[in-house]
Amino acid sequence: MIKKCLYPAAGYGTRFLPATKAMPKEMLPILTKPLIQYGVEEAVAAGIKTMAVITGRGKRAIEDHFDISYELEHQIKGGSKENLLNEIRSLITQCTFSYTRQVEMKGLGHAILTGETLIGNEAFAVLLADDLCTSQNDSVLKQMIEVYEKYQCSVVAIEEVPPDQTDKYGIISGNLVDSTTDTYRVTDMVEKPDPKDAPTNMAIIGRYILTPDIFNILRKTKPGKGGEIQITDALLEQAKEGKVIAYKFKGKRFDCGSIDGFVEATNYFYKKGI
């Protein structure tokens, strides 16, 4: 059973400056909903109710979003706009949200390690809110939890990316273990390889199920690509023991950390109707 989801949200979001100068990237809206709300909805659809957010300076809007705004609620009570808060209110009622700050931005691996106090000694989900996922049936996290329940080890969601874009992702290689569910046992992984050095075009997207031994591994992980502590390097330690499964998820992902992906997601949800 996966009960907790960790949201690393401490990054600077430099690709969206100046919008992200005083506002977290995770609060950028696709239509009327901030990215992180989509992420929380995905986790709730997977049966998760305990949300743990890694924040940093300038990220307080995330905490305010997942809290009641008495003044606003009072203002719109009884009017036609009251129902606009239904979805967020339902999340606030169903879930608990805890926050801790990553004081120095030392990379995604370091952000996840900062979450140890909120997670404890149990397997947990990690969701990067700027990767917005949508699927027809089960949410991507729900699909991954099923894979975790079968293999009882860490699980990463993957998708095939154009070969010239491998330098934007963690790239895996692995052996197919189940063709019906598109699952691979990971044998190698490398962070943002140059296309000419990439072993495959199978890229890790912002969804993980991690077993708690990852924290001890992360404590020992040295800064890697870009001088940051990389989750990919820590996962490679688990992969060497055969303990990482890569799962080609069913659904669609938008890289909302990039302008192109953000616009694509906006158009997609606009056409679909929210």
Which of residues 6, 8, 23, 158 is near ligand UTP by CB under 6 A? 8
| Separation CA 108–CA 45 (nearest Å) | 24
Please report whether residue 59 would count as binding ligand UTP according to CB under 6 A: no
User: Closest distance between ligand UTP and the C-beta of residue 136, in Å?
Assistant: 25
Please report whether residue 15 would count as binding ligand UTP according to CB under 6 A: yes
User: Closest distance between ligand UTP and the C-beta of residue 83, in Å?
Assistant: 30
Of 105-124, binders to ligand UTP (CB under 6 A) are 105-108, 110-111
Please report whether residue 102 would count as binding ligand UTP according to CB under 6 A: yes
Q: Which is nearer to ligand UTP, 9 or 30 (CB)?
A: 9
| Separation CA 125–CA 218 (nearest Å) | 16
Q: Which stretch binds ligand UTP (CB under 6 A): 77-85, 102-110, 214-222, 237-245?
A: 102-110
Please report whether residue 192 would count as binding ligand UTP according to CB under 6 A: no
Of 134-173, binders to ligand UTP (CB under 6 A) are none
| Separation CA 169–CA 38 (nearest Å) | 22
Of 212-271, binders to ligand UTP (CB under 6 A) are 257
User: Closest distance between ligand UTP and the C-beta of residue 79, in Å?
Assistant: 36
User: Closest distance between ligand UTP and the C-beta of residue 105, in Å?
Assistant: 3
User: Closest distance between ligand UTP and the C-beta of residue 55, in Å?
Assistant: 8
| Separation CA 267–CA 122 (nearest Å) | 38
Please report whether residue 9 would count as binding ligand UTP according to CB under 6 A: yes
Q: Which is nearer to ligand UTP, 57 or 240 (CB)?
A: 57
Please report whether residue 12 would count as binding ligand UTP according to CB under 6 A: yes
User: Closest distance between ligand UTP and the C-beta of residue 52, in Å?
Assistant: 12
DSSP string, the chain: ---EEEEE--S--GGGTTTTSSS-GGG-EETTEEHHHHHHHHHHHTT--EEEEEE-TT-HHHHHHTS--HHHHHHHTTSTTGGGGHHHHHHHHH-EEEEEE-SS---HHHHHHHTHHHH-SS-EEEE-TTEEEE-SSS-HHHHHHHHHHHH-SEEEEEEE--GGGGGGSEEEEEEEEETTTTEEEEEEEEES--TTT-S-SEEEEEEEEE-TTHHHHHHHPPP-GGGS--HHHHHHHHHHTT-EEEEE-SSEEEETTSHHHHHHHHHHHHHH--
Q: Which is nearer to ligand UTP, 33 or 106 (CB)?
A: 106
Q: What residue number has its CB nearest to ligand UTP?
A: 11
Where do contacts with ligand UTP occur on this chain (CB under 6 A)?
8-15, 25, 54, 102, 105-108, 110-111, 128, 130, 257
